[in-house]
Structure 1
Amino acid sequence: MNDSKQRLATDATPDDHQTADEKDGFSLSTEEKHDVEEKQPPRAAVLHETIRLQGEEELGRSIPALGWSALAAGLSMGFSMLARGLLHRYLGEVPGAFLIESLGYPFGFLVVILARQQLFTENTMTAVLPLMTHPDLAKLGLLLRLWSVVFLGNLIGAALFAYGILHMQLFDHATHDALVGIGTEVMANSPWQMFTKGILAGWLIATMVWLVPAAEQAKITVIVLTTYLIALGGFTHIIVGSVEVLYLVFSGGAGFVDYVVHFGLPTLLGNIVGGSCIFALISHAQVRGDEA
């Protein structure tokens, strides 16, 4: 009997001793297997938890900290309008000018995101995940507090930037006309278009927030490509659009009521629907589905 067992062991092929990984692919050393694991993209659950923890941190910040950061973000977002306006002024009517001038739009987003300033449309994604994960009235109260403070700070910063650029006499008439033209173009949308285009803008911003933690060295590329698409599509963003339309209002080209009713409310609602009710909800459901 022992001789029989020895013959069976001797006759066994090398494949009988291979691990499942070696049968399915190439035989790798321990170090090589570690390299493979390092190169795998993070699971959706990892991205979800990363963003949720960011949201928890934001919900726990004090009102003064949120307010100053939001004010800085509103001011920074003004550079998206300014960069686009300057490119438009100097490009003139050259072929493809719109494609080039739209590259100015991502500038404000780059400043806000890399400087970790508080932007309302980012919060529609990050701050809502903690509430979706552990829904309760306390979390809802913190979310509404965060949204209120950040939105107000962003709008004050946007208004200060638009007013300052107009009255500090920094630019010539051609640049002024280019900036007025941007606001006029935004106000050419109907309220329904403001809302529907706002949904896509909110969706894209939420997508960007989801992608940035996984992008590692390509964060700038993700930010630029995502926000460039917003500019190309003419999608409405409540903070950048506020700088653009308020510049028009301060120039006498539109009324403040028109800014609030025609642009502000539909765009705000669209951004929230796109960022929170669509992308964040779907992403959260995806992770919950994987855990089921």
Structure 2
Amino acid sequence: MASPRADDEQKAADDRPPQMEDQEAQQVEERAAISPLVVHEVIRNLGKEELERPVSALAYSGLAAGLSMGFSLVAEGLLRQHLPDVSWRPLISKFGYSLGFLIVILGRQQLFTENTLTPILPLLHRFSMQRLWQVLRLWGVVLLTNLIGAFLFAFVISHTDAFESGTRATFADIGRAAADHPFWTIVIRGVFAGWLIALMVWLLPAAEVARVSIIIILTFIVGLAEFSHIIAGSVEVLYLVTTGALSFTKYLGSYMVPTLLGNILGGVSLVAALNHAQVVAGSNKAKSDEKGG
């Protein structure tokens, strides 16, 4: 009796045009879009690796990511400072917002918003209290060290002459634009930011040569729409804190908390849970079809 796999291969062969050879059929398969199951498994395996990393490795990587994200503020500020004050200026200056994400993601540093997807898939795949603890440990270490790195970067650029006064004033303007919104507006903007960053992580395994383009396009939209990102936005708002223009408690209650809440909701519920659900549903259907066959 033929196996299900052999039957599938025979059906595929029967569907081919008569002039197509095996080598050409293989090329068709190689160029076909990667399946959601493959993407899911790539990210799940990465998540398992991250959950097993020691705290010290997570902390150093998280600190590096927090520092690196500071270059989003620097790049955007420099572009904004050197462009005329016209309506299309954000269309150019917001490309600078992508720089920190490029450094962090291509450098494989630990960024909190990426971790609203990557370690969540192993947890959803096989829930246990031990794995839940591993996720919470990873989140706590990465978030804390990201924010420490963001604060250190903001402190240095606000208390040194690395940038001229006009550029530092632009940094402050960017920080005020990020912080000057009601609590629930920031939550909603945080949902969109967490959604897009987690979607970016979902897209990267299938991207191959387009990885840089995907990172730039999606993070550019986050910046242009002024969606609230817990680390990139914290560098901007903490700049105000380090200059004394905003209190630390105001940053915590009016920016950090609503942004963190929104990023987690957007990443976990709208990307991790939904994409995991579609993969599980597809796997259950495949098993049902196999039994029926």
TM-score by length of 1: 0.92
Tell me how far 1:167 sits from its aligned partner. 1.1
Bigger Rg, structure 1 or 2: 1
- Superposed CA deviations along residues 177-227 of structure 1, whole A, max 9, x for unmatched, are 100000000111111011000000000001000000100000000000010
- In structure 1, what is the Cα distance between the partners aligned to 2:153 and 2:186? 22
Q: Structure 1 residue 228 and structure 2 residue 220: aligned?
A: yes
Q: Structure 1 residue 62 and structure 2 residue 51: aligned?
A: no
Report % sequence identity.
47
In the alignment, which residue of structure 2 is the partner of 1:118? 110
- Superposed CA deviations along residues 61-110 of structure 1, whole A, max 9, x for unmatched, are 00000000000000000000110011111113144111100000010000
Q: Structure 1 residue 171 and structure 2 residue 163: aligned?
A: yes
In the alignment, which residue of structure 1 is the partner of 2:80? 88
Contact 1:21 1:27 survives alignment (8 Å): no
In the alignment, which residue of structure 1 is the partner of 2:200? 208
- In structure 1, what is the Cα distance between the partners aligned to 2:44 and 2:146? 22
Tell me how far 1:21 sits from its aligned partner. 4.3
What amino acid maps onto 2:207 in structure 1?
A
Matches within 5 A, 1:184-199: 184-199=176-191
**1:242 match: secondary structure:** helix
In the alignment, which residue of structure 1 is the partner of 2:290? none
- In structure 1, what is the Cα distance between the partners aligned to 2:82 and 2:225? 22
Of 246, 249, 254, 1:254 maps to: 246
Runs of 4+ in 1 over 2 A off after TM superposition: 18-27
Point out where structure 2 has 5 or more consecutive residues left out of the alignment: 1-9, 285-293
Residues 248 and 71 from structure 1, CA distance in 2 versus in 1: closer, same or farther, beyond 3 angstroms? same
Instruction: Give me the CA root mean square deviation.
Output: 1.3
Point out where structure 1 has 5 or more consecutive residues left out of the alignment: 1-17
Tell me how far 1:19 sits from its aligned partner. 7.1
- In structure 2, what is the Cα distance between the partners aligned to 1:291 and 1:273? 26
What is the total number of aligned residue pairs between the two structures?
A: 275
TM-score by length of 2: 0.91
**1:238 match: secondary structure:** coil
- Superposed CA deviations along residues 1-45 of structure 1, whole A, max 9, x for unmatched, are xxxxxxxxxxxxxxxxx9764556453111101101110111100
In the alignment, which residue of structure 1 is the partner of 2:263? 271
In the alignment, which residue of structure 1 is the partner of 2:40? 48
- In structure 1, what is the Cα distance between the partners aligned to 2:12 and 2:275? 32
Residues 28 and 279 from structure 1, CA distance in 2 versus in 1: closer, same or farther, beyond 3 angstroms? same
What amino acid maps onto 1:61 in structure 2?
R
What amino acid maps onto 2:107 in structure 1?
A
